């Protein structure tokens, strides 16, 4: 059975400093498609190395990815973030396996570099992402607007070689993005009518710190693991605050 043609899709939102390097590692794909959320940093004006550019207003990650599935030219789709790279070994595995096995998609391991260090735990290792799928058999759950959930009708395989993720160069960047994600998580919880006790705003961050540092072996990352566990506890505090504000009908739901 011949390998399938693959559309590589990159979601872009002010990624001018990253996207060209990302696209260069996708030059083997049968199509490169950039879905741009009307960036204001000059991303749409860049030479995108032959990639097809479509602009679509960003609502949330799940809706943006689901729309991208319909805009691709080929049925097999690979999603890559602008700060990710596809190494040669993963490229070769995709070209060898995709379309040749009785599965509707693949989870791919991801190596994460955060604050200048390749992670060994803290929730970023191991880190499998559902990024390759047959769009005829997959869709995104809109109740998960961030940290998206793929709904697939069929068996899902797993690739061996990792995506490389160059993420969060500074604590300031980490906190800014996690604050943004927290609002999307809170919105998803509210959509599913999730309620939490009043004590959750205190207890959930404590649990998250313990989960990251101990359960997910953040201690293996040393001081950075402790720092990231604390920052994710802060993220959880923003989630609970945002959820509580939505149940109150508070017009002052905080945004990044």
Residue 133 pLDDT greater than 60, yes or no? yes
Indicate the range of 80-84, 114-118, 195-199, 223-227 predicted with least confidence: 195-199
Chain centroid offset of residue 86 CA: 15
- H or E stretch covering 150: strand 150-152
pLDDT in tens, 20-42: 999 999 999 999 999 999 999 99
User: 2: number of CA atoms within 13 Å, CB side?
Assistant: 3
The DSSP line for 2-58 is PPPPEEEEEEESS-TTTHHHHHHTTTTSSEEEEEE---SSSGGGS--TT-EEEE---
Pairing between strand 6-12 and 31-36? parallel
User: Residue 101 in contact with residue 29, Cβ under 8 Å?
Assistant: no
**Domain range annotation of the chain:** 6-167, 171-248
pLDDT averaged over every residue in the chain: 93
User: Residue 163 in contact with residue 82, Cβ under 8 Å?
Assistant: no
Q: What is the pLDDT of residue 191?
A: 87
What the block records as the tokens of 85 is 């790279």
Reported confidence tier of residue 195, pLDDT bands at 50, 70, 90: confident
- Rounded average pLDDT over 180-189: 92
One of 3.90.550.10, 1.20.120.80, 3.30.70.2190, 3.30.1490.20 is the CATH number of 6-167, namely 3.90.550.10
Q: What is the pLDDT of residue 252?
A: 53
- Rounded average pLDDT over 171-197: 91
pLDDT in tens, 150-159: 999 999 999 9
- Rounded average pLDDT over 234-253: 84
Q: Calculate the alpha carbon distances from 178 to 64, 74, 120, 138 in Å.
A: 19, 33, 20, 27
Reported confidence tier of residue 69, pLDDT bands at 50, 70, 90: very high
Q: What is the pLDDT of residue 7?
A: 98
- H or E stretch covering 85: strand 84-85
CA 207/CA 43 separation, integer angstroms? 39
Residue 95 pLDDT greater than 70, yes or no? yes
């Amino acid at each position: 059975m011949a390998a399938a043609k693959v559309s590589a899709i990159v979601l872009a939102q002010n990624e001018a400093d990253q996207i060209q390097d990302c696209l260069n590692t996708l030059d083997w794909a049968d199509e490169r498609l950039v879905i741009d959320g009307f960036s204001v940093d000059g991303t749409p004006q860049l030479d995108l190395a032959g990639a097809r550019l479509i602009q679509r207003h960003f609502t949330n990650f799940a809706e943006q990815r689901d729309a991208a599935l319909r805009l691709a030219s080929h049925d097999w789709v690979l999603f890559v973030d602008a700060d990710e790279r596809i190494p040669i070994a993963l490229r070769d595995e995709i070209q060898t396996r995709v379309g040749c096995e009785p599965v509707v998609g693949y989870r791919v391991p991801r190596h994460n570099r955060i604050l200048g260090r390749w992670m060994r735990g803290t929730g970023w290792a191991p880190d499998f992402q559902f990024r390759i799928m047959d769009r005829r058999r997959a869709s995104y759950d809109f109740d998960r607007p961030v940290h998206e959930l793929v709904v697939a009708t069929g068996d899902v395989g797993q690739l061996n070689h990792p995506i490389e993720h160059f993420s969060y160069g500074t604590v300031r960047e980490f906190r800014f993005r996690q604050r943004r994600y927290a609002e999307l998580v809170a919105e998803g919880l509210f959509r599913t009518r999730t309620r939490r006790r009043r004590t959750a705003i205190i207890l959930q961050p404590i649990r998250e710190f313990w989960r990251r540092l101990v359960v997910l072996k953040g201690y293996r990352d040393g001081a950075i693991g402790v720092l990231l566990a604390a920052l994710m506890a802060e993220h959880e505090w923003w989630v609970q605050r945002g959820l509580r504000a939505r149940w109150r009908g508070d017009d002052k739901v905080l945004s990044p």
